[in-house]
A and B are shown apart, each in its own frame.
Chain A
Amino acid sequence: MIAIAPALLDDLDRRLIEAFQRDLPLCAEPYAAMANSLNTTEADLLERLARLEAEGVVSRVGAVVAPHRAGWSTLAAMAVPVDRMDEVAAAVSACPEINHNYAREHALNLWFVVTAESRARVTAVLHAIEQATGLEVLDLPLERAYGIDLGFKPSWN
């Protein structure tokens, strides 16, 4: 992974990020409503969102679906020999059902999230990864989510 300097955000970018990680207006012209509450124009707001998406700061304006309400997902972990990390991580990332895939500091050093329309499909993906890599995959499905997902509350300094 290439280290990229943090994106430069101005005050309005920051207020936009703080205010609208949830409660996107459900009206015909939501961006105009957001612009209004931030004292800017709709055109400026749309430009900002396009820039933030292009920079990767905002991955999308969209719906975050609660786990296990619209399908199935799991967190999976593997202990990958260090000299095989690139190969195994690439094989995992290549599956369309994988949305997050990170190396972490632990004996179990590769962690990824599998999401699909059914539990059977998720299980099949885990088995396919085991077969392709010859490594065991730990299946750690969510049993309970605590709290409310408020998004991410950054402090900017």
Chain B
Amino acid sequence: MELSPTDRRLLAALEDGLPLVARPYAAIAARVGLAEVEVIERLQGLLDAGVIKRLGLVVRHHEIGYRANAMTVWDVPDEAVDRVGQALAAAPDVTLCYRRPRRLPTWPYNLFAMVHGRERPAVLERIGQLRGEYGLADVPHAVLFSTRRFKQRGARYFAAAGVGG
């Protein structure tokens, strides 16, 4: 789906979030020059098309006590990675699961999953379980805990480019 200029303006206006007022879609509509009902219909269309993957509260896990944040990576053979990735994505405690390119020799891993927990030992135990449950016990892997968060905010596809908003 090619995004129309109007959809891009709408997404740009949403990058800082919906205002906390009784009629937030009307407030966004006024900013982008649409009617409230058009904003609602366009958002439904963008959700149906998969452009917006979710509309709701964006929660920062660290602030609710989930301090152990492990980017867990595996070097899964190419012919198996999609099957493993789909299964792993459905596991409880795995929030995001992506395939990315290897960059040999520096970076040999192609499957990424985020695993969050309150304490490191529990996260490591959970990753151990995942390796057993998803046939990954013999697959090379690494666990990259975060140690410092320098920046965390919503993505800005448009704001930096000056596309409205």
Contact = CB atoms under 8 A, between A and B. Distances in A.
Is this pair of chains taken from one and the same complex?
Answer: yes
Interface of A: 1, 4, 6-7, 9, 16-17, 20-24, 26-32, 42, 46, 49-50, 52-53, 55-66, 69-71, 73, 75, 77, 89-90, 92-93, 96-106, 108, 111-113, 115-117, 121, 138-154
B96 A102 contact: no
Interface of A is mostly: mixed
Given A28-B23, A117-B160, A153-B92, 14 more contacts: A1-B148, A4-B63, A30-B24, A31-B20, A52-B57, A59-B17, A59-B60, A65-B53, A75-B112, A102-B148, A140-B107, A147-B89, A151-B95, A154-B66
Contact of B142 (A23, A106, A144, A154): A106
Contacts of A71: 157-158
B97 interface: yes
A97 B95 CA distance: 23
B44 interface: yes
29 contacts: A1-B148, A1-B150, A23-B54, A23-B55, A27-B40, A29-B22, A42-B22, A52-B57, A53-B20, A59-B60, A59-B154, A65-B11, A65-B157, A70-B3, A71-B158, A89-B148, A92-B151, A99-B151, A101-B149, A104-B144, A115-B156, A117-B157, A117-B160, A138-B106, A144-B82, A147-B86, A152-B59, A152-B61, A154-B66
A20 B57 contact: yes
Interface of B: 1, 3, 8, 11, 14-18, 20-26, 36, 40, 43-44, 46, 50-61, 63-66, 69, 71, 82, 85-86, 88-90, 92, 94-101, 103, 106-107, 112, 116, 142, 144-161, 163
A95 to B, nearest CB: 8
Given A57-B60, A97-B160, A111 B144 contact: yes
Nearest to A140: B100
The 10 tightest CB contacts between A and B, nearest first, are A147-B89, A60-B17, A6-B65, A71-B157, A146-B89, A22-B54, A146-B85, A101-B151, A104-B144, A103-B148
A133 to B, nearest CB: 14
Contacts of B23: 28-29
Contacts of B54: 21-23, 63-64, 149-151
A9 B159 CA distance: 32
Contact of A24 (B26, B56, B69, B106): B56
Given A26-B40, A89-B150, A144-B85, A77 B107 contact: yes
A32 B60 CA distance: 24
A139 B88 CA distance: 24
Name the residue in A53, A57, A104, A143 with the highest tally of chain B Cβ atoms < 10 Å from its Cβ.
A104
